[in-house]
Chains A and B, each alone.
Chain A
Amino acid sequence: MASVTEFFEKFLRIDRRWIFLAIAIAVVVPFFLPLGLPVVVTPPVQRLYDAVEELELGGPPLLLSIDYTPATSPELEPMSTAILRHVFRQDARVIVMTLHPAGYGMAESAILAAAEEEGAEYGEDFCFLGFQPGTSAVILGLGVNISNVFPEDAYGTPLTEIPMMEGIRNYDDIPLLISLAGWSASEAWVYYAHQPYGQRVGGGVTAVMATDLYPYLDSGQLVGLLGGMRGAAEYEELIGQHGSGVRGMDSQSVIHLIIIILIILGNLAYFMTRRQRKLAGEGT
């Protein structure tokens, strides 16, 4: 009995670096040995997927605003990759831009990787407009005329010389807009693109922000929503190509379990040692 208590007492004072080690193992292992836990697709993700699915071959393009920064890219980059793959696979077109200065590099690397993989061509299937400061003014300005806000693309080519931009003037020519952001950009798109112009807006945000955006989903101000790595995993499930999202969910499940087991063991140890202390106290 005493030895059990001793063990628990030791366990309560365990060096936190053992916990760190457990977490590290739980993250690294699924990279090599995927568990393949099933991913259940939820309605908000399905709705966004359906909206992208509606884009037509060579028809009016999707406007994808990659507004996340390096800090939140682990959650949001799997989303942009999955959405871009989806768009290119059905030969639809996409205009990429960003509202955040730090989103420039994020957007560029995501789109170039997806384009290379799916064989999409710059200027025909996609183009990258780059960054403009002034969030709400930019969003409102695009509703009037895109070329007023972005006279040229990120590489200095005038929009008039980009084939796919022909006839694309403002939101009227864009059937769907998706914003991926770890800050309030998605709300800004709802306020300044959906509200005044009736633009259909979809969003992808971090898991933490997702519940704050559910009201917009219920009211129809957002056509669909991806929340965190789980949202990305569900989207990957839908396009049938598992990537970092699905893999990430394995690690997520394992670590969540580890934390819960730690909490349970911690409490068990706490009560065992407390009872022991109480008994000892009564004995003397």
Chain B
Amino acid sequence: MLPIFADVHDTFWFPKQASTFAPQVDFLYDVILWISIIFFIPIVIAMVYFMVKYRQRPGYKGSTEALHNTFLEVTWSVVPTFVVVWIFWEGMVGYLRMQTLPSDTEDVKVTAKKWVWSFKYKNGAESDKLYLQVGRDAKMIMRSDDVLHSFFVPAFRAKRDIVPGRYNYMWFQPTVEGTFDLFCTEYCGDNHSGMITKAIVQSEEEYNKTLALLAKEPDDIVERGKWLYERKACKGCHYAGTEGAQGPGPSYNGSWGKPVPLAGGGEVVFDENYVSNAILNPQGQYRKGYETASAMPSYKGQLKLEQIEAITAYIQSLQSAEPPKK
């Protein structure tokens, strides 16, 4: 009877319950919902009933006397007080459970950057999707490189802001294998709504396999370029797909080898030289039409020469595609 909205399955009302927190949160949600209904229905009934019963009509004359009933007033002040005290208590207990870190956890370093997620695992692997092991407590060690972000997986009923200048922590234990949406819920600029990724919950065996795979840089130069593209926050601004999606920065597609106009006037050929300049020293290399985009950080010292070459190779591999229209 109690769970009219929440369910272990993906219902119309709630996402799937996929962590140990979910049943607790949903339970409290349902209780509050019932309490609300129990208060709301009589209020509306009384309102409608009085509206009809005491409506102005010929031959009816209501009283004008101001009423005041101490017993009633005390009752409807005190009863809700007890109710909200209970709600507070339950909420606090649930919250403390979320805040108390278990001792043995799988740690993931989460870095949020405009508008990409990056997850680093114990073995040095790095990914832009969050991989988790089912039934194992996972701890997120989160920091932001620029502005406020917020980590939210609805199926886990878990959320925490990521504040620049400090570490924020959270933990949860996924209980169901599958793929779940991971949102950024704190407004972070142009592409805030694009800062979505997936939390993928896998069995122990699969999880370890994934991590091992992620830890290895691909051998093929184009593959490696793509691998870096996904990991070095290029993906947040520069799109590489063909579906016509556009980010704040120019797309990687097309125009390879052709001259492109610069924001400061003049043209430059879109070639290896330009790509490496634009990566190492983005200021002054902005393409025309992209001046207003939030400034791209310099990658000087963050990328090795051969890594830049790999990215260049990757960009080159995309040249056949038509450039999307801005």
Asked if chains A and B come from one complex, the reply is no
Q: B residues near A, CB below 8 A?
A: none
Which A residues are within 8 Å of any B CB, using their own CB? none
